[in-house]
Structure 1
């Protein structure tokens, strides 16, 4: 398998969206560390669902980025841009759902 040939615009798009996905991972790691501090302060444990949701929040942006990178590897820059935008939106919705929609009683036990 050879190196994918992208235009300069394509590499700019990949770089910008790599930073956006890295920000989502950083946010998920912050949530993981913050919830661990909360559970230690309260003397509680993470439930199985808590581990699953927090790890899901960390790994989904990474998986989405590499999936989109694979899918758009032969597309021109103008066609890959909407795919990257949708993937970042999906990653943001998942992060928001984990933060707001999952009750703490399901995460901390």
Structure 2
């Protein structure tokens, strides 16, 4: 079957019989990534604010941030970046709908983890 003989609504079949999927146009993939990237970037900005705020609070109280606290605060910065990168990587050759679903699922995961990180509260301070 040649591409000319394929109907416009169907994907053309390759020589081995597999159906070739059309990838998302580059401009649309970048637009989707940028739109969702704004939400992920806000979470990174919020995590940096938490890191700075906890550091200032610890300094004002005259206490130190524990090692687990530093790990938790740094994980709050790294998780949105890693999840966005994973969603981008997994969706790079998929349809626009699949890309949107991947970004939404990743963003939901980031929000759940951010809520978990926030639930630790002052546990990052060494009050002893």
Q: TM-score, with normalisation over the residues of structure 2?
A: 0.76
Give the equivalent residue in structure 2 for 1:76: 95
- Number of aligned pairs? 103
Give the equivalent residue in structure 1 for 2:61: 42
Contact 2:65-2:124 at 8 Å conserved across structures: yes
- Is 1:30 aligned with 2:49? yes
Q: How far apart in 1 are the matches of 2:47 and 2:39?
A: 13
Q: How far apart in 2 are the matches of 1:6 and 1:94?
A: 30
Cα RMSD over matched residues? 1.3
Give the equivalent residue in structure 2 for 1:108: 125
Q: How far apart in 2 are the matches of 1:108 and 1:35?
A: 8
**Structure 2: 5+ residue stretches without partners:** 1-22
Contact 2:29-2:92 at 8 Å conserved across structures: no
Q: TM-score, with normalisation over the residues of structure 1?
A: 0.88
Instruction: Please report how far the alpha carbon of residue 6 of structure 1 lies from its aligned counterpart in structure 2 after TM superposition.
Output: 4.1
Larger Rg: 2
* Stretches of 4+ aligned residues off by more than 6 angstroms: none
- Is 1:12 aligned with 2:37? no
Instruction: Please report how far the alpha carbon of residue 34 of structure 1 lies from its aligned counterpart in structure 2 after TM superposition.
Output: 0.5
Residue in structure 2 matching 1:92, options 97, 111, 114: 111
**Structure 1: 5+ residue stretches without partners:** none
Q: How far apart in 1 are the matches of 2:97 and 2:66?
A: 44
Instruction: Please report how far the alpha carbon of residue 17 of structure 1 lies from its aligned counterpart in structure 2 after TM superposition.
Output: 0.9
**More relative contact order, 1 or 2 (CA 8 Å, 6+ apart):** 1
- Is 1:55 aligned with 2:74? yes
